Amino acid sequence: MSAKTHCIADTTIVTCREDEPEVLHHHSILFEDNVITRVAPESEIEHLLDGRSDVERFDGRNHVVIPGLVNTHHHLYQSLTRGLQCVQNAELFDWLTELYTRWRHLSHETVKLAAQVSIAELLLSGCTTTSDHFYIFPQDSDVRVESVLEAASSLGMRIHVCRGSMSVGKSKGGLPPDDCVQDEKVIMRDCARAIDAFHDPSPMAMVRVDLAPCSPFSISTELLRETAAFARDRSVLLHTHAAETADEEQYCLERFGKRPIDYLADCDWLGSDVYLAHCVHLSDGDIRKLAKTQTGVSHCPCSNMRLGSGIPAIPELLRQGVRVGLGVDGSSSNDGGHLLAEARQALLLQRVTGGATAMRTADAFRIASVGGADLLGRQTLGRVAPGYAADLALYRTDDVALAGAVAQDPLAALMLCHVGRADRVYVNGRIVVDDGHLTMLDERKLAFDLNQAVGKLFR
């Protein structure tokens, strides 16, 4: 069977060529099945397609098109506890301690439902790939990585499911209750099972599996090292939280005699196959280590502000060549999952202390697209260009939220304005959002069902 050809005709495109974004006016995009085959001026594409009736065309004249955005850190299940009253003003360690008392009651169905809501929110914002750091497997629960993967499949989201782990409970000096941690042999067996069952190393894979201890202090040093060695043996990525708060730094100094990045380095947890969430509290030496080892950083500005964790030195990380992507983090520490809004927040946060030149719109766009794709090792994501996946987000230029700005500078309009929903979103060549609504599930039913579940179990 021949490939189906699609054309987004006569539109405005914002994409990165090399490292800098550029705006292409009156261009068209051709893709066959799930791969972009041509990006060229509209007149050239029209000539190429002249007389062909087998092409599915979409009029893009009232749209601006960007590559599907890449979210590099999330906890999809946390929609269950977002806005929870008792942690609205809590910092990280108190926030975690309180929430573990709720999360110990997770089940397969509640995790799947919450993940569907979180994924729906991401898709509607124009995000087409997400990493999900799923590390809590309560004892006597039926929760497995399948809980998240089934949610992603039901909505058409491209996903890196991070099989997380916690083995150090309260009785051993950790934060989570003992019934929320697992035996380390059980953890490693399930890491192997998840990779064997679901990891797809192919360039256009819809599912990949990464290995992701919750944090360097939530598992033993032995398991941290074993996880790194096993991941490298199986050629999968490594992910964890690191240097998020000053409390974490003090904890690591007291427990290990080292600051978080030094401890990770000693455990062979730095490298081009590692991406770390947050990295708020870094020394100059830490930044040099991350740059030298090509370790990635997932920047989560809204979560860092929500929990009062601090402002990471993103401009300095970028200046020194550290790979940086963007993450919305979990819905219990962000309370939202709009990746385009997260890029705007990343831009504005740096200007609070660094002035108006601290971060450019180009920088914010780059870390939300190709920066995230690079962190996840996805060379076919994050750009609108031939050979790349047909992961595309389209926003209406006649939306009042963009009016005026989009006529001045489409890139600035997306990064500086309050953009609502994408009008149309493709993932792997498939339409998953159309006319501003999900195509595969009823979003109002999802919201209703989640509200019902929260009311019964997690209020």
pLDDT surpassing 70 at residue 2: no
Is 455 contained in some domain?
Answer: no
The model's pLDDT over 355-392, given as tens digits with 9 standing for 90+, comes to 999 999 999 999 999 999 999 999 999 999 999 999 99
SS3 string, the chain, reads CCCCEEEEEEEEEEEEECCEEEEEEEEEEEEECCEEEEEEEHHHHHHHHCCCCCEEEEECCCEEEEECEEECCCCHHHHHHCCCHHHCCCCHHHHHHHHHHHHCCCCHHHHHHHHHHHHHHHHHHCEEEEEEEECCCCCCCCCCHHHHHHHHHHHCCEEEEEEEECCCCHHHCCCCCHHHCCCHHHHHHHHHHHHHHHCCCCCCCCEEEEEEECCCCCCCHHHHHHHHHHHHHHCCCEEEEECCCHHHHHHHHHHHCCCHHHHHHHCCCCCCCEEEEECCCCCHHHHHHHHHHCCEEEECHHHHHHCCCCCCCHHHHHHCCCEEEECCCCCCCCCCCCHHHHHHHHHHHHHHHHCCCCCCHHHHHHHHCHHHHHHCCCCCCCCCCCCCECCEEEEECCCCCCCCHHHHCHHHHHHHCCCCCCCEEEECCEEEEECCEECCCCHHHHHHHHHHHHHHHHC
Is 62 contained in some domain?
Answer: yes
Mean pLDDT across the chain: 96
Looking at the structure, do residues 38 and 115 belong to the same domain, yes or no?
Answer: no
Looking at the structure, do residues 310 and 417 belong to the same domain, yes or no?
Answer: no
pLDDT of residue 52: 86
Looking at the structure, do residues 151 and 258 belong to the same domain, yes or no?
Answer: yes
Query: 131-135, 172-176, 321-325: lowest mean pLDDT where?
Result: 172-176
The model's pLDDT over 52-61, given as tens digits with 9 standing for 90+, comes to 888 999 999 9
* CATH number of the CATH domain containing 418: 2.30.40.10
Q: What average pLDDT does the segment 204-209 reach?
A: 98
Total structural domains within the chain = 2
pLDDT of residue 230: 98
Looking at the structure, do residues 42 and 119 belong to the same domain, yes or no?
Answer: no
pLDDT surpassing 90 at residue 193: yes
pLDDT of residue 34: 97
Is 251 contained in some domain?
Answer: yes
pLDDT of residue 293: 98
Is 452 contained in some domain?
Answer: no
The model's pLDDT over 287-332, given as tens digits with 9 standing for 90+, comes to 999 999 999 999 999 999 999 999 999 999 999 999 999 999 999 9
Is 345 contained in some domain?
Answer: yes
pLDDT of residue 362: 98
pLDDT of residue 459: 66
Looking at the structure, do residues 364 and 391 belong to the same domain, yes or no?
Answer: no
Q: Which of 324, 355, 375 is the last residue of a domain?
A: 375
Q: What average pLDDT does the segment 225-240 reach?
A: 98
Contact in structure between 33 and 429 (CB atoms under 8 Å): yes
Is 458 contained in some domain?
Answer: no
pLDDT of residue 19: 87
Q: How confident is the model at residue 87 (pLDDT cuts 50, 70, 90)?
A: very high
Is 277 contained in some domain?
Answer: yes
pLDDT surpassing 80 at residue 3: no
Looking at the structure, do residues 19 and 76 belong to the same domain, yes or no?
Answer: no
Is 128 contained in some domain?
Answer: yes
Q: Is the pTM of this model over 0.95?
A: yes
The model's pLDDT over 418-455, given as tens digits with 9 standing for 90+, comes to 999 999 999 999 999 999 999 999 999 999 999 999 99
In the block, residue with structure tokens 């740096």: 350
Q: How confident is the model at residue 246 (pLDDT cuts 50, 70, 90)?
A: very high
Looking at the structure, do residues 263 and 310 belong to the same domain, yes or no?
Answer: yes
Domain with 93 in it:
69-375
Q: Which of 342, 375, 408 is the last residue of a domain?
A: 375
Looking at the structure, do residues 61 and 195 belong to the same domain, yes or no?
Answer: no
Looking at the structure, do residues 29 and 94 belong to the same domain, yes or no?
Answer: no
Q: What average pLDDT does the segment 142-163 reach?
A: 98
The model's pLDDT over 337-351, given as tens digits with 9 standing for 90+, comes to 999 999 999 999 999
pLDDT surpassing 60 at residue 81: yes
Looking at the structure, do residues 177 and 194 belong to the same domain, yes or no?
Answer: yes
pLDDT surpassing 70 at residue 334: yes
* CATH number of the CATH domain containing 268: 3.20.20.140
Looking at the structure, do residues 218 and 103 belong to the same domain, yes or no?
Answer: yes
Residues 6 or more apart in contact with residue 185 via CB below 8 angstroms:
none
pLDDT of residue 18: 87
pLDDT surpassing 70 at residue 1: no
Looking at the structure, do residues 48 and 105 belong to the same domain, yes or no?
Answer: no
